Amino acid sequence: MYDPVRYETNKSAAARDAEQFVPMLVNHMTWKKNELILDYGCGAGSTGNKFVLPEVEKFDSKIHSVDISPDMIAHAKKTYPSPRVTFNVGDILQDNFPHKEVKFDKIFAVYVLHFVRNYREALKRCYDLLQPGGYFGFTVLSKSTLYVLHEKLGTSEKWSKYMKGYENYIPEWFEQKEDSEVAFRRNLTQLGYEIVELKPYRQEYDFESVNTVAELYLSLNPYVKVIPKELLNDVKQEYTDFLRKHWNVPEGTDALCTNYELLYGVVRKPLQ
């Protein structure tokens, strides 16, 4: 997520999914007093604040919230301050990750790993950050037109000069046309995780307008600060035209019914 205000305004499907799945993640884990929690890819901070922080407060614990986007972290710090939460910019794949020496009791990555091309390495790093017996809970957008649009714009004559390296934002399993559950189960098992729950869900969402989806996708475009501001409306129009055609939205109507696949997972590092 690269535009916090635009994302928070238009994240209707993601908000619905968070409402459905994050309490499930929380309830699939055993909680104890004085734990350390990592909220990786915390975004604008609303999901962790609404669904994880209450449990953290109940068990007198703390959250380290991290996101790759400085704008998201700035928004989260301002909007959701708490003495139990720290906010830092960081990339778990980089050696300067702010909490690389910390061992966590729980890690949450909600709507995150599909933005990490080398997701296996991210899974490995999470494993290394967990205490023995620690839990890792995640949701992943398995299939989405967002990935198709990244490739469409990234290879186009008009946008390729702004979207160099776009393929880094398309998950490997999607590019390789591999089922996400199969890919995750294989990699999680090979890395040593115990699988508590790993299940795909077919989701549907009725958006009031194509514009809402286009705005959401624009907020998720990692090149939103590279593309000149005066051209962002052109990007949005490309999204709108594609979405109308892909989802067969008739002329004269604006509502959009989408379907997509989400992978839900809770895994555990074995007690050693």
- Per residue in 129-155, pLDDT (tens digit) is 999 999 999 999 998 888 899 999 999
Residue 129 burial by CB count (10 A; 0-12/13-18/19+): exposed, middle or buried? buried
The strand pairing partners of 258, in sequence order, are: 205
The strand pairing partners of 200, in sequence order, are: 263
Q: Which two tokens stand for residue 212?
A: 């809402």
Residue 119 burial by CB count (10 A; 0-12/13-18/19+): exposed, middle or buried? buried
- Smallest CA-to-CA distance from 65 within 96, 87, 34 is with 87
Does the pLDDT at position 12 exceed 80?
Answer: no
Does the pLDDT at position 7 exceed 80?
Answer: no
**Rounded CA gap, 96 and 89, in Å?**
10
Contact 131, 103 (CB under 8 A): yes
Task: DSSP letter for 250, please.
Answer: P
Phi-psi region of 41 (alpha: psi -120 to 50; beta: other; left: phi over 0): left
pTM, two decimals, is 0.90
CATH 3.40.50.150 fits 4-268, yes or no: yes
- Per residue in 35-84, pLDDT (tens digit) is 999 999 999 999 999 999 999 999 999 999 999 999 999 999 999 999 99
Can you spell out the DSSP letters for 184-208? HHHHHHHHTPEEEEEEEEEEEEEES
pLDDT at 67: 96
**Rounded CA gap, 39 and 175, in Å?**
27
Q: Percent of the chain, pLDDT > 90?
A: 73
